[in-house]
């Protein structure tokens, strides 16, 4: 999802199905300040080993059970490289559909980000 995109977010799949996959775009409460909501891409799911970026203090981290690793599509964003793995309980919804701009109308699965998955070097078994 790009800046100024407008989308429809799905709470059902998050709160009922508990369905999370690498590449999903989610809305979540900020781990730093719960009054803010962030929109980030899931890069790692529980059990993945993620190669981190500065300012995260360790070069790699295994995503613990009940957590995800999220990153913004832009390089300088507040994401897991600042606050670490995110508890699944902070995830509010998942992007289901992009409605604006009209030329990108449709499912977010057709979108790709060159950074997605690049940080994961060991996947859960």
Q: How far apart are CA 24 and CA 49, in angstroms?
A: 18
Distance CA 59, CA 26 (A): 25
Is residue 117 included in any domain, yes or no?
no
In a domain, 119, yes or no: no
The CATH number assigned to the domain holding 46 equals 2.10.109.10
Of 115, 113, 47, residue with least CA distance to 81: 115
Report the DSSP beta bridge partners of residue 93: 27
Structural domain span for residue 19: 6-108
* DSSP code per residue over 49-86: EEE--TTSSSSEEEPPTTEEEEE-SSSS-SSHHHH-SE
pLDDT (tens place) for every residue of the chain, 125 residues total: 566 788 899 988 887 877 888 989 999 999 999 899 999 999 999 999 999 988 889 999 999 999 999 998 777 788 999 999 999 999 999 999 999 888 878 887 644 555 555 577 766 65
Long-range contacts of residues 108-114, Cβ cutoff 8 Å, at least 24 apart: 108/1, 108/7, 108/25, 109/23, 111/1, 113/41, 113/73
In a domain, 18, yes or no: yes
Q: Whole-angstrom Cα distance, residue 76 to residue 101?
A: 23
Q: Which pLDDT score is estimated for 118?
A: 54
Angle at CA of residue 34, ends 31 and 40, nearest 5°: 55
So what's the pLDDT on residue 84? 95
Residue-level pLDDT at 55: 87
**Does some domain include residue 65?**
yes
In-domain check, residue 100? yes
State the pLDDT at residue 95.
93
pTM: 0.84
Specify the number of domains making up the chain: 1
Flag whether 28 is in a domain.
Answer: yes
114 within domain boundaries = no
Residue 98 forms part of a structural domain:
yes
- pLDDT score of 70: 95
- Give the model's pLDDT for residue 5: 80
Return d(Cα 121, Cα 22) in angstroms, integer.
13
């Amino acid at each position: 999802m790009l800046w100024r995109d407008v989308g429809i977010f799905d709470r059902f799949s998050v709160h009922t199905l508990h369905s999370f996959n690498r590449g999903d775009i989610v809305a979540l409460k900020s781990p730093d300040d719960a009054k803010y909501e962030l929109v980030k891409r899931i890069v790692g799911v529980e059990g993945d080993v993620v190669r981190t970026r500065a300012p995260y203090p360790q070069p790699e981290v295994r995503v613990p059970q009940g957590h995800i690793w999220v990153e913004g599509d832009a390089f300088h964003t507040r994401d897991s490289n600042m606050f670490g793995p995110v508890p699944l309980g902070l995830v509010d919804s998942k992007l289901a559909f992009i409605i604006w701009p009209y030329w990108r109308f449709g499912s977010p699965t057709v979108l790709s980000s060159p950074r997605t998955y690049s940080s994961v070097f060991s996947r859960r078994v």
